[in-house]
Amino acid sequence: MIENRAVTLLDESDGAGSSAGGRATLRFELDVAGESLAFGVQIVRGQVRLSDIVPLARSLSVRLCDASLRKLHAEGGDVPCRKGCAACCSYLVPLSVPEAFRLQEDLSALPPEQAKAMLHACLAAAGKILEQRPGDFCSEGPLGTNSPEETGRIGQWYAGLSLPCPFLSGDACVSYKDRPIACREHFVTSPAALCLAGATPEPSVVPMPVSVLECLGELAAELEQREVEAVMLPLALPWTLKNHDRSGRTWPTGMIVERLIEILKAAAVKTPTRDEVHV
């Protein structure tokens, strides 16, 4: 069982779960990568913040990515991504709004010296971004409101900075357990050398059947009645301070989990088949 305060993703071995003591279990299935996946989410009745839903989203992402990789391996494909490979760790990493708030909480829970080091790394990276940003790029704005072309341009500019992730130390992520969903959903089938900035051709990215990152962003936008937003990882901490009033807002646990499930189901239905992808 993967534990969280108010929301728990049940392992397949956990059975029916309990609905006693103020808890309830929501069950659903998703058809992804040619496989029907069953999920059980146990909730504590009450109120939750956007950040409280992030551990559930991370766990769901792992299950969905595993299904996609099983399909890839069954078809003879291979993913070179391994521990110690940091070829993609200078990419632009977008955080959904809930993840940005959760990042601040995760850092606050670390031992003081480790938290201080990671904060310093984030601020150093943010400083470089602000110094070298294009003149027409507002670094404080949400990435999610840009067009795909604009987002791609920003991504290319960011890659050109050769800026290592602030959580990277010795080619290893010091926050791997709590890494962003964008990182969890990124796999390639091409050599790691093609993941480096400026490499040609571009790496062959494994398409995810459902992007939990996008679903979480959609959920937050709907709940807050805003446009979908994404926050650049190194700028997330100052962004959370600027938007601190939003971090404490709460919604009923059951409602927020049920709506996330609905968004995931809708995304799974929209997922194109393999033949459609190559048309």
Q: Please say whether the beta carbons of 143 and 232 come within 8 A.
A: yes
**pLDDT single digits (tens) 141-164:** 455 444 556 666 777 778 778 788
Task: Mean pLDDT check: name the lowest of 19-23, 115-119, 133-137, 201-205.
Answer: 133-137
What does the pLDDT read at residue 96? 95
DSSP designation for 278: T
pTM of the model: 0.87
H runs (alpha helix) in the chain: 54-74, 97-108, 112-132, 148-160, 181-184, 212-224, 236-242, 244-247, 253-270, 274-277
Print burial letters for 46-74: b (CB count within 10 Å at least 16), e (below 16). Answer: eebbbbbbbbbbbbbbbbbbebbbebbee
Q: Please say whether the beta carbons of 239 and 230 come within 8 A.
A: no
Q: Please say whether the beta carbons of 40 and 26 come within 8 A.
A: yes
Q: Which amino acid is at 117?
A: A
**pLDDT single digits (tens) 21-58:** 678 999 999 998 888 999 999 999 899 999 999 999 99
What does the pLDDT read at residue 144? 45
Spell out the domain ranges in the chain. Answer: 7-277
Three-state DSSP class for residue 62: helix
Q: Please say whether the beta carbons of 92 and 154 come within 8 A.
A: yes
Long-range contact set of residues 273-277: C-beta below 8 Å, sequence gap at least 24: 277/207
- Alpha-carbon gap, residue 188 to 203, rounded angstroms: 7
Q: Please say whether the beta carbons of 180 and 98 come within 8 A.
A: no
- Alpha-carbon gap, residue 56 to 81, rounded angstroms: 24
Which residue did the predictor score with more confidence, 156 or 20?
Answer: 156
Could you identify the residue written with the tokens 């069954």? 74
pLDDT-derived band at 276 (thresholds 50, 70, 90) equals very low
What does the pLDDT read at residue 261? 97
